[in-house]
Amino acid sequence: MTNKPRYAEASMEAMYRIFTVPEAPGSTLGNIDQKLSQNLAGFLQEHIVAVEKDLEELQKDFSDSEIPEKPIFVSDQADFLMDKLVAQSVHTASPSFIGHMTSALPYFMLPLSRIMMALNQNLVKIETSKAFTPMERQVLGMIHRLIYDKNDGFYDKWMHEPGYSLGSFCSGGTIANITALWVARNCRFDKDLKNGFRGIQRAGLYGALQHYGYKGAAILVSERGHYSLGKAADVLGIGRDSLISIKADARNKIDLQELRTRIDELKADNVAIIGMVGVAGTSETGSVDPLDEMADIAEEIGCHFHVDAAWGGPTLFSKKYAHILKGIERADSVTIDAHKQMYVPMGAGMVVFKDPSLVSSIEHHADYIIRKGSRDLGAYTLEGSRPGIAMLLHSGLKIIGRSGYEILIEQGIEKAHAFASMINAETDFELVSEPELNILTYRYVPAFVKQKLATATPAQVDEIHEVLNRLTKRIQKNQRARGKSFVSRTTLTPEAWDRRRTIVFRVVLANPLTSLEILQDVLAEQKHIASTSACTECMDELHGLCDDRPMHAHAV
């Protein structure tokens, strides 16, 4: 069988072989597969080229817009992918890739992923998923319990109950957030049949506002809230201007006073408050809003309280740090991502609901699947067809366990604190946001600039800040292009700098393989980049602004 050429032949017979004859062990793809399963880290290290290629250059390999008329050999495609795609990918599992939320994967995830792919289940309905449906319901139950800690009786009653759902599994945090706010919106403008209103689900937002006599609908969240919330406000028809952005305080937490003020204003303006979103681990600084106080306010005004814990949710695994999320158990809905701090491959998001009947507000049916009364999960999800990736989280929860995840979470938080101390001990760096969880931000500020800033006039600070912003950007891009390590960057408005727009390095410490030595190297590399020609212009400008001596004396 395997003597036949590996396709590159358009015939029914070749098409048949594509579905029936496996890759030979010695074939190109067979070899890659074997190497991958035996030495993942080595494979990635060996095959991903670290140094950044110009994107225009990369595009050349993907510039043909025509679907090839004739099939090509599997081995040719495998070679192409290795040279042009894999080699030019990002080594997200590298311990020195600390700029984003994508980190390393436990080894067992890979063979399990293949089982999942081979089974090719579709969770929208029982008929294409069978045992995967109760399995996913169990995983949602476990996450629900992690957050809400209800008793056995609660889960015995609701976890597998058709017509109800403890949450919904989806491709990621964005869909989870949109789903939560969709539920919040639909519950807020529920049916009022006595007065002839069939509910927003049928009548739409315009009809709902007219019926209930409001001139608008709003959602409140801190300015540090995730950008998916703006997308949700757009998609749901509320409008981005009605996602009310509340100032964050010096620790990047929502300002409760301003929250109250804005609520009063909205009420006075006759705007319906659909929901309030607390953030448990902001994307940029890892900060956690005062959830308990927000829950009080939500209760007081009677609105849906959603917590976006896409990043920070797994902190609940840690007995030591779970208290940071106090109040999350009072949320009506919570977003949590498995592909972030639960070490499952992309994309595995979830939203869970305190009350398992909430999903009835978004329930939908069809004649050929998800019929009324069925156990099909598709009746309560924004997505339709979905893969069985819950199986990977099920395995993570079993193989790593609560106590294993606790260790992983705690090492991240403690490493972040150690890195913060390291930065504080450096004369040429400034810690911009203290880590509350395992995310922190900082920037390169040479000692001579720090000195000047201490006594500078506001106008001088403005000028220096502007150059520092360009310098940070320059260093970040340069470091990324060199390919040794990677931090990301964002723009904050720190209170300490009177809310000036401040570009910072952003570091996310979730990979357990990231050592303190690596972090020390990251700082050393950044200092080095600052001394190279890439930064000469910025450094010269800083000297010009900060030194009493003339600028050229300091030029490199």
- Is residue 5 a contact residue for a second copy (CB under 8 A)? no
Give least dist CB 291 to a second copy, A: 21
Are 489 and 506 a contacting pair, CB within 8 Å? Answer: yes
Binders in 521-550 for a second copy, by CB under 8 A: none
Nearer to a second copy, 129 or 303 (CB): 129
CB of 194 to a second copy, least distance (A): 18
CB proximity list for 110: less than 8 A, separation 6 or greater: 36, 37, 40
Nearest in space to 505 (alpha carbons), one of 450, 439, 444, 441: 441
Q: Which stretch binds a second copy (CB under 8 A): 104-112, 423-431, 452-460, 517-525?
A: 104-112
Rule CB under 8 A: is residue 350 a binding residue for a second copy? no
Residue 100 Cβ, how far from a second copy at the closest point, in Å? 5
- Quick check: 496 binds a second copy (CB under 8 A)? no
Q: Does 69 bind a second copy (CB under 8 A)?
A: yes
Looking at beta carbons only, is 439 or 542 nearer to a second copy?
A: 439
Q: Which stretch binds a second copy (CB under 8 A): 18-26, 421-429, 461-469, 544-552?
A: 18-26
The DSSP code sequence of 86-136 is ITTS--TT-TTB-SSS-----TTHHHHHHHHHHHT--TTSGGGTTTHHHHH
What is the SS3 assignment for 333? strand
Tell me the residue type at 347. Answer: G
What is the rounded end-to-end Cα distance, in angstroms, of the chain? 67
For the chain, how many residues are written? Answer: 556
Tokens matching residue 495: 């209170």
Q: How far is the CB of 454 from a second copy (least distance, A)?
A: 27
Q: How far is the CB of 498 from a second copy (least distance, A)?
A: 18
Q: Which residue of 491, 497, 540, 544 would you call a contact of a second copy, by CB under 8 A?
A: 491
**According to CB under 8 A, which residues from 440 to 479 bind a second copy?**
none
Cβ at position 37, least distance to a second copy in Å: 6
For a second copy, the binding residues in 28-57 under the rule CB under 8 A are 29-30, 32-33, 36-41, 43-44, 48, 52, 55
From 182-190, 296-304, 448-456, 522-530, span contacting a second copy (CB under 8 A): 182-190
How are the residues of the chain apportioned to helix, strand and coil, as percentages rounded to the nearest 5?
50, 15, 35
Q: Does 387 sit near a second copy (CB under 8 A)?
A: yes
- Considering only residues 401 through 420, tell me which ones interact with a second copy, judged by CB under 8 A: 401-404, 406-408, 411
* Contacts for 47-51: CB closer than 8 Å, 24+ residues apart: 47/82, 47/86, 47/87, 48/86, 48/87, 48/88, 48/89, 48/90, 48/91, 49/87, 49/88, 49/483, 50/91, 50/482, 50/483, 50/484, 51/481, 51/482, 51/483
- By CB under 8 A, the residues from 118 to 177 that bind a second copy are 118-122, 125-135, 137-138, 141-142, 144-146, 152, 155-156, 159-160, 170-175
- Please list every residue from 279 through 338 that binds a second copy, using CB under 8 A: 283-284, 337
- CA angle 354–358–361, rounded 5-degree value: 160
Q: 52 — phi, psi (to 5°)?
A: -75, 130
Stretch that binds a second copy, among 206-214, 253-261, 287-295, 326-334 (CB under 8 A): 206-214
Binding span for a second copy by CB under 8 A among 257-265, 343-351, 416-424, 453-461:
343-351
Interface with a second copy (CB under 8 A), residue from 239, 456, 482, 551: 239
